[in-house]
Structure 1
Amino acid sequence: MKRLLVLGAGTAGTMTANKLRRELPLREWQITVVDRDDDHIYQPGLLFLPFGKYRTGQLTRSRRRYLRRGICFLTGEIDRVDADAKTVRLADGRVLAYDYLIVATGTSPRPDETPGMLGSQWRESIFDFYTPEGSAALAEALPRFTGGRFVVHIVDQPIKCPVAPLEFAFLAEAWFRAHGMRDRVELVYVTPLPGAFTKPIASARLGGMLDERKIAVEADFLVERIDPDNKVLISYDEREIPFDLLVTVPLNKGADYVARSGLGDELNYIPVDRHTFQSTAHPDIFVLGDANDLPISKAGSVAHFSAEVFAANFCEYAEGRPMTGSFDGHANCFFDSGDGLGLLIDFNYDTEPLPGTYPLQVFGPLSLLRETSRNHWGKLAFRWIYWHLLLPGRRLPVPTRMSMRGKHQPDKEN
């Protein structure tokens, strides 16, 4: 009996385990999935929770419920991986042996890494929204905010879903307008990047949208510390940005057991081959989702497209054959911009987000880098797709590899 152990039952771990359960004979394979609890959170919904779109209970379901029959699910904190002995030790002392290991324990915000962030103003005037607790606290704080300097801030890249902070800034601007207080709020977007996004075409489009909504941008801002008493962000080059209410995206890091196991880099991300997800140090370890060091967005779409490639590759590898699939870095993301509108971006390792239509040329039905109501409804519909199609590992009618169909360079627009 071959033993496949999956660490993490989030998006990547659940999808991959379900896909492999379909491919690997039950009589020959034992598939075990481990996570610290049984609470699977629909993370895209956390963005909307502060604006009253969801309640916390609507975003959480059982991890076990979404794993196919024949998969063993265990709960427990992971202490460390012994790659040489091919074992995983849990914090309660249990030791799990494996023949093949899939690491999919993701990334998480670490407010403790920025001096002053967890000071006297934490969840008083300093909030996060990447956690259920932070998003719920912000939902209570927003109605109490009567005006002043509202700052949306990113500590550093990489982060989960890198467009989410921009989305939050746009949704906040729309929320303030809807509540008749936009003229009392100064909105500032603070980023370590040189512009609104990492790629120039998208950065110019999104930067223009920030200008249209009168949201100021402070670029190239690398925060060194937060002064909670005076409510000021302070950068390494000694720039200061005051705030009345700060919505921050803390530094993101991989799981701590990765460091204890000697598997990761300084941010606890595990180095892998960017096309096959195979660990560069241990050939029987594969790393999916946000836990690896791929030079691409840490987003659910990457987990989806990479799982499609990986499942076929793993079956080849387990049979002693070369892996023939190659992940191209494909990512796409719906971007809600408020007022019932949204954008969609689609890109990969080699091609930046471009305008056009998706997934079909001319007919779309979705538009790229252009605000439409269809994109907004696509974002809202994704929650049903996530629970009923994506997590169970079913194929979606979109290309795994990025296609240039429907895309064009901005200078070729009519």
Structure 2
Amino acid sequence: MKNLVILGAGTAGTMMANHLVSKLPKKDWKIHIVDQFKTHYYQPGFLFLPFDIYTEEQVKKVGKKFIPKGVNYIQQRIEKIDAENNLVDLENGTLSYDILIIATGSKIAPDEVEGMMSEEWKKSIFDFYTYEGALALRNKLRDWQGGKLVVHITEMPIKCPVAPLEFAFLADSYFKKKKIRDKVEITYVTPLSGAFTKEFCSKSLGYLLEEKNIKLVTDFAIERVDFENNKIIDYIDKEVGYDLLVTVPTNMGDEVIERSCLGDDLNFVPTHPNTLQSLENENIFVIGDATNVPASKAGSVAHFQAETLTDNILLYIDNKPLKEEFDGHANCFIETGNNKALLIDFNYKQEPVTGTFPFSGIGPLKLLKESIFNHWGKLAFRWIYWNMLLKGISIPFVSRNMSLKGKNINN
């Protein structure tokens, strides 16, 4: 009996377990999935928690209920991957593998910036990329009476690159509803040269920041947080003052990748961008936020990756050439506040453009255009996530590779 081991039971790992359990011959293969945590979080929901749009119960469930029958679920801490000997050291024993899938995700590392994780952490300095951070920020915003709100990105890459911008837009709506928008100065601070990660988006959607009276500070490479004087300071001594700092700290791969000497400087695993096979070990595959591929770190990307990776696992078992198929496809709703959202669809080579999705000419969703339909799509994604994505069910009319149908490529 051969062993296929999946490390991590988050979005990517759970999807792979559901994809493979019905495709690998049970008489030859045993699938194991390892994760130390009981709770599975709907991480896109963390964006909505601070604004009381989602409740705590809507963004978390018991993870084991999504692991299919026939998969051996092991709830233990992963100590180290011994790639040379095809072994995984757990807190209580060792697990051997013939094929390993690394789906250990990424996490915030606020300690990477001097002063960020100070005595003011969760007092005047917050994140919303963790469940605990989003809840603490919700409690802060409920009573906050106004001042300088700074929404800040430390460095790229980060999970869901548009989430910080969505936070700024939702904050604008939130304070308007509380009738204190005139008492809140919102500033968006980014290390990039524009508000969006994609150039065409920045040019096309700059009006949103002006319309919502959100100040933009670009090319800000933070050196430290001066928490005693409520300022963030970059390497050329540029300063931005705040009363409330909502920051996206450095995102890094799991510490097990560092302990196993399998990652880059940020603990992301060097991965073939099209096959999702490890560049260093042919029987190791990587998916989701754990990879270093230049695709967006988002659940929809992991969903598209999972379909290609499933095919490639089967091809690898049969000693056949792998598909160089994954194209970096990402599909993302961007909440803009006031019950509206944008939709972008892009890949490694094609930036987001205007058009219709998923059908040419008729949509019904508009690309790079605000609409209430896109907002409903954003909210509906939570149901799709729990009931389709995690279970490895394809989304109708949305292909794993980006389609050019309906897109105005020559914009």
The TM tier, using the shorter chain, reads over 0.9
1:23 is paired with a residue whose SS is coil
Q: Give the C-alpha shift of residue 119 in structure 1.
A: 1.0
1:367 is paired with a residue whose SS is strand
Residues 312 and 325 in structure 1, CA contact (< 8 A), matched pair in contact too: no
Residues 102 and 285 in structure 1, CA contact (< 8 A), matched pair in contact too: yes
Q: Give the C-alpha shift of residue 118 in structure 1.
A: 1.1
Q: Give the C-alpha shift of residue 93 in structure 1.
A: 3.7
For residues 29 and 16 of structure 2, the distance between their equivalents in structure 1, rounded to whole angstroms, comes to: 15
Residues 76 and 92 in structure 2, CA contact (< 8 A), matched pair in contact too: no
Identity of aligned residues (%): 50
- Between 1:56-65 and 1:27-36, the stretch displaced more is 56-65
2:22 is paired with a residue whose SS is helix
Q: Give the C-alpha shift of residue 58 in structure 1.
A: 2.3
For residues 315 and 120 of structure 1, the distance between their equivalents in structure 2, rounded to whole angstroms, comes to: 51
Return 5+ residue gaps in structure 2 as ranges. Answer: none
Q: Give the C-alpha shift of residue 394 in structure 1.
A: 1.1
Instruction: Give CA-to-partner distance per residue, 1:349-382, whole Å, 9 cap, x none.
Output: 0000001111101111111100000000001111
1:402 is matched with 402
Does 1:31 pair with 2:28?
A: no
Residues 300 and 330 in structure 2, CA contact (< 8 A), matched pair in contact too: yes
1:376 is matched with 375
Flag the 1:46–1:182 CA change in 2: closer, same or farther, 3 A.
same
Give the structure-1-normalised TM-score: 0.98
2:282 is matched with 283
Residues 226 and 232 in structure 1, CA contact (< 8 A), matched pair in contact too: yes
For residues 380 and 123 of structure 2, the distance between their equivalents in structure 1, rounded to whole angstroms, comes to: 33
For residues 287 and 147 of structure 1, the distance between their equivalents in structure 2, rounded to whole angstroms, comes to: 44
Amino acid at match of 1:58: Q
Does 1:3 pair with 2:3?
A: yes
For residues 365 and 289 of structure 2, the distance between their equivalents in structure 1, rounded to whole angstroms, comes to: 26
Q: How does 1:36-115 map to 2 (within 5 A)?
A: 36-90=36-90, 92-115=91-114
Q: Give the C-alpha shift of residue 410 in structure 1.
A: 6.7
For residues 390 and 338 of structure 2, the distance between their equivalents in structure 1, rounded to whole angstroms, comes to: 29
1:119 is matched with 118
2:14 is matched with 14
Q: CA RMSD in A?
A: 1.0
Does 1:160 pair with 2:159?
A: yes
2:328 is matched with 329
2:133 is paired with a residue whose SS is helix
1:198 is matched with 197
For residues 173 and 75 of structure 1, the distance between their equivalents in structure 2, rounded to whole angstroms, comes to: 41
Return 5+ residue gaps in structure 1 as ranges. Answer: none
Residues 192 and 220 in structure 1, CA contact (< 8 A), matched pair in contact too: yes
Does 1:314 pair with 2:320?
A: no
Amino acid at match of 1:176: F
- Between 1:203-212 and 1:356-365, the stretch displaced more is 203-212
2:241 is matched with 242
1:227 is matched with 226
Q: Give the C-alpha shift of residue 205 in structure 1.
A: 2.6
Q: Give the C-alpha shift of residue 57 in structure 1.
A: 2.6
For residues 100 and 54 of structure 2, the distance between their equivalents in structure 1, rounded to whole angstroms, comes to: 36
For residues 212 and 84 of structure 2, the distance between their equivalents in structure 1, rounded to whole angstroms, comes to: 55
Q: How does 1:356-371 map to 2 (within 5 A)?
A: 356-371=355-370
1:225 is paired with a residue whose SS is strand
Q: Give the C-alpha shift of residue 146 in structure 1.
A: 1.2
Q: Give the C-alpha shift of residue 409 in structure 1.
A: 4.1
For residues 409 and 210 of structure 2, the distance between their equivalents in structure 1, rounded to whole angstroms, comes to: 22
Flag the 1:410–1:167 CA change in 2: closer, same or farther, 3 A.
farther
For residues 118 and 52 of structure 2, the distance between their equivalents in structure 1, rounded to whole angstroms, comes to: 27
Q: Give the C-alpha shift of residue 313 in structure 1.
A: 1.3
1:271 is matched with 270
Residues 79 and 256 in structure 2, CA contact (< 8 A), matched pair in contact too: yes
Give the structure-2-normalised TM-score: 0.98
Amino acid at match of 1:83: A
- Between 1:231-240 and 1:203-212, the stretch displaced more is 203-212
Residues 347 and 353 in structure 1, CA contact (< 8 A), matched pair in contact too: yes
For residues 341 and 156 of structure 1, the distance between their equivalents in structure 2, rounded to whole angstroms, comes to: 27
Instruction: Give CA-to-partner distance per residue, 1:91-140, whole Å, 9 cap, x none.
Output: x2411100000000100011111110111211111110011110000111
Residues 161 and 197 in structure 2, CA contact (< 8 A), matched pair in contact too: no
Q: Which stretches of structure 1, 4 residues or longer, exceed 6 Å deviation after superposition?
A: none
Amino acid at match of 2:119: S
For residues 303 and 224 of structure 1, the distance between their equivalents in structure 2, rounded to whole angstroms, comes to: 32
For residues 210 and 170 of structure 1, the distance between their equivalents in structure 2, rounded to whole angstroms, comes to: 8
2:107 is paired with a residue whose SS is strand
